[in-house]
Chains A and B, each alone.
Chain A
Amino acid sequence: EVQLVQSGAEVKKPGESLRISCKGSGFSFTSDWIAWVRHMPGKGLEYMGIIYPGDSDTRYSPSFQGQVAISADKSISTAYLQWSSLKASDTAMYYCARGGIQGVVADSWGQGTLVIVSS
């Protein structure tokens, strides 16, 4: 069974750094793209960026370029989303998703990681 299991909820202060994770199982982690999607309260889904763990090829949405960093450790089948300095506006639910169909269609999603940034 394909599974993406994300790390738990985080409560941080503005200016702090954070890395959240997404561990894949039940599929070849190095053969599918893994994307990150933001869902702010009361808003729609926003594509942040995508990584191919096989060679760490990473692409960012223009809206998120320079704001976050996406990485992966294929040895432990885990992808990461990282912030160096959080803002209150980063408060959201973050999902990882696997491009399991045609390499890019998101057929499997993680359960989401809630990030709350508040002073």
Chain B
Amino acid sequence: EIVMTQSPATLSVSPGERATLSCRASQSVSSNLAWYQQKPGQAPRLLIYGASTRATGIPARFSGSGSGTEFTLTISSLQSEDFAVYYCQQYNNWWTFGQGTKVEIK
């Protein structure tokens, strides 16, 4: 089973600042990596797939990069609605989620 490890567990950021979230896979997943945003009481929402392709309707301030085992989600200028938990997910070998990174207001 592929293990996904996210860091940091919590990221404290001021509105307008950049946030950088990391995700590492225990073995190569090629570019078969997605990022999801989840807010309290809501279902997850797809942000990025194919490591770097934004899903429909996702603002350009969200960007993804990486391949193989190292991936990054960058939020260029945090808006109030971006404070949430973010999960990476590999789909190279069925699915595995990372444990999540909570982005909170500093």
Contact = CB atoms under 8 A, between A and B. Distances in A.
Interface string A105-119: 111011110000000
Interface in A60-119: 61-62, 95, 97, 99, 101-102, 104-107, 109-112
Contacts of A50: 94-95
A98 to B, nearest CB: 10
A61 B2 CA distance: 11
A106 B88 CA distance: 12
A95 B46 CA distance: 14
Contact of A44 (B1, B34, B87): B87
A59 interface: yes
Interface residues of A, number: 23
A107 B43 CA distance: 11
Contacts of B45: 109
B97 A106 contact: no
Interface of A is mostly: strand
A35 interface: yes
Contacts of B94: 47, 50, 59, 61, 104
Contact of A47 (B50, B85, B97): B97
B55 A104 contact: no
B46 A45 contact: no
27 contacts: A44-B97, A44-B98, A44-B100, A45-B100, A46-B97, A47-B89, A50-B95, A59-B94, A61-B95, A62-B1, A95-B43, A97-B44, A101-B46, A101-B49, A101-B55, A102-B50, A104-B91, A105-B34, A105-B46, A105-B49, A106-B44, A106-B89, A107-B46, A107-B49, A110-B43, A111-B43, A112-B43
Given A45-B97, A101-B46, A105-B50, 6 more contacts: A44-B97, A45-B44, A47-B97, A61-B94, A106-B89, A111-B43
